[in-house]
Amino acid sequence: MRSGQKTNKYKGVVFLRSFHRENIGQSLRDIFKQKDLLFLLVSCSSIYAVPLAVLYFVWQYLRQIHLKDFHNPKGQLVYPYFFLGVNALISSIYSLNLVSIGVTVGIVIPFLIYAIYVENRLEPELCVSMLRLLVYLSLPAALVSYFQKLFIPLQEDRVISTFANANLYAYFLMAVLLVTLGLYMDKPPKRERRWYLVISAANLFALYLTQSRAVLLALAVSVLFLLLLRRRFQQALFLFVLCAIFLIAVIIYPQLLRFIPRYEILDANMNRRAEIWGIAWDAIRTNPLIGRGILSYKYYAIQYNLIKTHAHNTLLNTWVEWGLAGVGLLLWASIIIFRRGLWG
């Protein structure tokens, strides 16, 4: 098979196709597109790699300003992200904690710049290419998790792959599985669909090995919602009936609950979570409006002889660190993203 035919065979993957071009007149803009895509993929590969992408995009942002190629950032997310950065800085200064101030200036604000920059640079074609490659790159991550399960002693016997903990890897897998389903419903070529099925099976098994109960439930609800959005009503009804049958079966045969990951410690975990959330509420009451600064839950929980870096609840943790103002700003950004996903 000729190289030109091979290239056309994979023309749906824009990033790979661009590397096979032998066009001397390729524009600098295309080169920067490839770099942007590369660093976005690096940031998705592991939580430890995220700072590399953030530094790259912040450098790009500052470089554009220096070269006077800077245009005021556009997009609906600019204002909520800008005010979120201001709020984060105020709350960290209020905390009088040098670690909180350093993390805000060195990580949070660069991340917000990164988000604004990406929103302005990431075009639909690049986005689809990135998502396809992200799906394919999730397969090696799943293989890493299998290796961990077989050969490496793990905390609570939960795989983490290239991530900091099992829950983070589970959230990543949930996102990848939803993206894979969306790409599959777009009716790609048969060979590509087969790969999506193989990768989804591998990632579903890896998700089970993370033993993350909340993510398994969230995935089922999210898939149902995605099917409804894509007007796949028959498949949505089938999934709903399947879940209903499982719930009825659990009521009739409670022993089926043993198949739920870590079911035997569910009561103990819920009691522990209730204690963690109670401490978070106590911390919120000390400064409900602007919060106590990032990472403040960790330092506040020490007073209760509890070593936890976060409150195990996004809403409560955000309220502790950035106050009601931070919660409102994140809600504002979430509504914009949600509306964009529904209506474009």
Angle at 108 between CA 160 and CA 312, to 5 degrees: 45
165: left (phi over 0), alpha (psi -120 to 50) or beta: beta
Q: Which residue has the tokens 């609800």?
A: 221
**Which pLDDT does position 337 carry in this prediction?**
81
**Which pLDDT does position 49 carry in this prediction?**
66
At 24-68, the pLDDT tens digits run 233 334 445 556 656 666 665 665 666 766 677 677 767 777 676
Please tell me which residue, 7 or 255, carries the higher pLDDT value. 255
- Non-local (6+) Cβ contacts of 297 within 8 A are 279, 280, 283, 308, 309, 310, 311, 317, 320, 321
Helix (H, G, I), strand (E, B) or coil at 201: helix
- Non-local (6+) Cβ contacts of 46 within 8 A are 162, 163
CA distances from 209 to 65, 157, 213, 310 (A): 46, 8, 11, 23
The amino acid at 178: L
Which of 110-124, 170-184, 235-249 comes out lowest in average pLDDT?
110-124
Neighbour tally for 203: CB within 10 Å: 22
Is the pLDDT assigned to residue 18 strictly greater than 90?
no
- Non-local (6+) Cβ contacts of 92 within 8 A are 100, 101, 103, 104, 105, 293, 294
Angle at 206 between CA 204 and CA 209, to 5 degrees: 115
Q: Which two tokens stand for residue 191?
A: 């060979």
Which of 142-146, 204-208, 243-247, 275-279 comes out lowest in average pLDDT?
243-247
Is the pLDDT assigned to residue 298 strictly greater than 90?
no
Please tell me which residue, 293 or 120, carries the higher pLDDT value. 293
At 70-128, the pLDDT tens digits run 566 667 888 899 999 999 999 999 888 888 888 888 878 877 877 777 777 667 776 77
Percent of the chain exceeding pLDDT 70 equals 77
The amino acid at 158: R
Is the pLDDT assigned to residue 173 strictly greater than 60?
yes
